[in-house]
Amino acid sequence: MIKTKKVIVVTGAFLISAGIENLVLEISGMLVDQVYDGTEKKLAKKIISRKPEYVIIDPPCVEEILIPLISELNNESDIKVIGLVTPNTIQSVSSHFTFTLNKKESKLHLIEVLQRIVGTEENNQTDNDQVISKRETEILRNLALGLTNQEVADKLFLSVHTVMTHRKKITRKLGIKTVSGLTVYALMNNLVDIREVERTI
Amino acid sequence: MLLEKDMKLADVIHHDYNLVPVINRFGILLGFGDSSIEKICKSKNINVSFFLTILNAFHDPQYLDKRYLQTFSCKLLVDYLRKTHNYYLEQKIPEIECLIGEMGSEMISDSRSHKILQQFFSHYKEELEKHIEREENNVYPYVLELENAIKNETVSESLLTKINNYPIASYEDEHDNVEEKLTDLKNILIKYLSPSLDQKNRFKLLKELNVLEKDLNDHSSIEDFILVPKVELLEKHVMDNLSSDD
């Protein structure tokens, strides 16, 4: 089965975003989820909350926030950051990107590059089935019972950071983010009893 | 397609049926005849360019032109946003509630899940109501007060306190949960609620959730990209020109 690959584009230029949307259509399962023009507040946070697999950035539109933006995005291990460059882009800008697309290249060439970027990830991905693990189930159960991240961590002798990592994985696998949504899932799968969760649903 | 004032409104609605609730908010009811957008707006006393901008932004979010929309008064924006709230509370939410209720007949073998869904949605409704109430009672009056202060070139002490303590920026990011819960609900319906033989109401529900989701997205982009930046400019203007303390 083809997994969808969400792309977020950061550019204020319509011709560029339209071009990228057109390009991305050529890769199966890939789609542009959102376009930001680079002036949005808390841009990195907004991007991360949409859980894209790829973020394509047009450097001129973010100017001085480029470097903090890239470094925040790079902290998310699931996000790949791709920069739009030209042969004239200065090294101090282009070097921040793990991957780059050359604006001046032909469509065919760009498709090849994009396929290579997407391909490297496909091979690394081992667990494709979206079933949550035993540990994740345990954490999900406790969240449904109304425990906070900290309380779950204390109860299961984990760090809050680990709980949060698990939680992100659960959300990615199930497509459910809010505690009440997770509680509904837990109830429907008999992980908790309705009487236990009156408050969290 | 860019919608323009000399187009016939009927053609526009044929082209994008989703605009029906939007024109409705401006007081235009179906059965509006064969006239152009401009003519209909004039007869209803609607600001044509504002109407077109809102219509275009809804029709294709790429048309949401921030600089241009910011030229409209806050009052126009707030009136429109209030009407969308009204549409959620008076129409969409009751409709969805009703559909979830009707799903009961499709879920006789799994009435427990049905109850859970109902409970989930009733809490969602409460949250949305609270969110709307806060905007209507605090945010919008504040915005209008600011605009009036600039118009009259006087500013009250209490308004200055508000600008200092609760600037518009402190209201941002409020929409997230309301939108996330809707996505969760869709995933539950699509992926996790066990299949029943008859799914007519589940189909309808999904469709209505999509309609609500699109409307909420449009609503929050108008707030985040148009209203908030505009109000920030007003706040700055008041502080720079009207606050006499310094």
**Cα B5 from chain centre:** 23
| Residue A201 domain-assigned (yes or no) | no
Q: Among residues 10-49 of chain A, which lie with CB inside 8 Å of chain B?
A: 14, 17, 35, 40-42, 49
Nearest alpha-carbon partner for B6 in B46, B36, B34: B36
Tell me how crowded residue A140 is: count the other CB atoms within 10 A of its CB: 24
From the list B62, B176, B191, the residue facing A14 with the nearest CB is B62
The whole-model pTM stands at 0.77
Residues A101, A152 within the same domain: no
Q: What is the pLDDT of residues B186-230, one digit of tens each?
A: 999 999 998 888 899 999 999 999 999 999 988 988 888 888 888
Residues A119, A138 within the same domain: no
Residues A27, A112 within the same domain: yes
Contact B116 A194 (CB under 8 A): yes
What is the rounded average pLDDT of the residues B171-178?
Answer: 68
Q: Which residues of A touch B62 (CB under 8 A)?
A: 14, 17, 35
A181 and B CB contact within 8 Å: yes
- What are phi and psi for residue A6, nearest 5 degrees? -85, 135
Contact A49 B120 (CB under 8 A): no
Residue B130 CB-density burial (10 A; 0-12 exposed, 13-18 middle, 19+ buried): exposed
User: What pLDDT does residue A49 have?
Assistant: 87
Residues A112, A176 within the same domain: no
- Mean pLDDT check: name the lowest of A110-124, B19-33, B131-145: A110-124
Nearest alpha-carbon partner for A94 in A138, A58, A132: A58
Number of domains in chain A: 2
In whole angstroms, give the CA distance from residue B160 to residue A5: 47
| Residue A90 domain-assigned (yes or no) | yes
In whole angstroms, give the CA distance from residue A110 to residue A82: 12
Strand order in the sheet with A54-57: A30-36, A5-10, A54-57, A80-85, A99-102
**B235 CA: distance to closest CA in chain A (Å):** 17
Domain ranges (residues) in chain B = 9-63, 73-242
Q: Which residues of B touch A42 (CB under 8 A)?
A: 172-173
Contact A187 B113 (CB under 8 A): yes
User: What pLDDT does residue A24 have?
Assistant: 92
What is the rounded average pLDDT of the residues B107-124?
Answer: 91
Instruction: Say whether the ipTM exceeds 0.90.
Output: no
Average per-residue pLDDT in chain B?
90
User: What pLDDT does residue B110 have?
Assistant: 86
| Residue A111 domain-assigned (yes or no) | yes
Nearest alpha-carbon partner for A81 in A129, A109, A117, A105: A117
Residues A62, A143 within the same domain: no
Q: Which residues of B touch A41 (CB under 8 A)?
A: 169, 172
User: What pLDDT does residue A121 have?
Assistant: 55
Which of A124, A155, A187 represents a domain boundary (last residue)?
A124
From the list A14, A180, A182, the residue facing B123 with the nearest CB is A180
Per-residue confidence band for B21, with pLDDT thresholds at 50, 70 and 90: very high
SS3 per residue for chain A: CCCCEEEEEECCCHHHHHHHHHHHCCCCCEEEEEEECCCCCCHHHHHHHCCCCEEEECHHHCHHHHHHHHHHHHCCCCCEEEEEECCCCCHHHHCCCCEEEECCCCHHHHHHHHHHHHHHHHHHCCCCCCCCCHHHHHHHHHHHCCCCHHHHHHHHCCCHHHHHHHHHHHHHHHCCCCHHHHHHHHHHCCCCCHHHCCCCC
Residues A14, A111 within the same domain: yes
Nearest CA in chain B to A17: B62
Contact B181 A178 (CB under 8 A): yes
Contact B180 A178 (CB under 8 A): yes
Residues of B with CB under 8 A from a CB of A: 62, 112-113, 115-117, 119-120, 123-124, 169, 172-173, 176-177, 180-181, 183-185, 187-188, 191-194, 224-225
Q: What is the DSSP letter of B108?
A: G
Residues A37, A102 within the same domain: yes
Which amino acid would we find at residue A147?
L
Q: What is the pLDDT of residues B85-94, one digit of tens each?
A: 999 999 999 9
User: What pLDDT does residue A98 have?
Assistant: 87
Residues A157, A106 within the same domain: no
CB B37 within 8 A of CB B12: yes
* pLDDT beyond 90 at B126: yes
* pLDDT beyond 80 at B182: yes
A178 and B CB contact within 8 Å: yes
Contact B123 A201 (CB under 8 A): yes
Residues A36, A114 within the same domain: yes
What is the CATH classification number for the domain harbouring A166? 1.10.10.10
Which of A82, A98, A124 represents a domain boundary (last residue)?
A124
Find the domain containing A172 and state its range. Answer: 134-196
pLDDT in tens, chain A (201 residues): 467 889 999 999 999 999 999 999 888 889 999 999 888 888 999 899 888 999 999 999 888 889 899 999 988 888 999 999 998 888 888 888 989 999 999 998 999 999 988 886 555 444 455 688 999 999 999 999 999 999 999 999 999 999 999 999 999 889 899 999 999 999 999 899 888 887 777
| Residue A129 domain-assigned (yes or no) | no
Which of A124, A158, A178 represents a domain boundary (last residue)?
A124
How wide is the angle at C-alpha A7 spanned by C-alphas A29 and A73, nearest 5°?
A: 135
Residues A85, A159 within the same domain: no
Residues A28, A109 within the same domain: yes
* pLDDT beyond 70 at B174: no
Q: What is the pLDDT of residues B42-99, one digit of tens each?
A: 999 999 999 998 999 899 887 776 667 778 899 999 999 999 999 999 999 999 999 9
* pLDDT beyond 60 at B246: no
Residues 6+ apart with CB under 8 A from A98: A74, A80, A81, A82
* pLDDT beyond 70 at B173: no
Residue B129 CB-density burial (10 A; 0-12 exposed, 13-18 middle, 19+ buried): middle
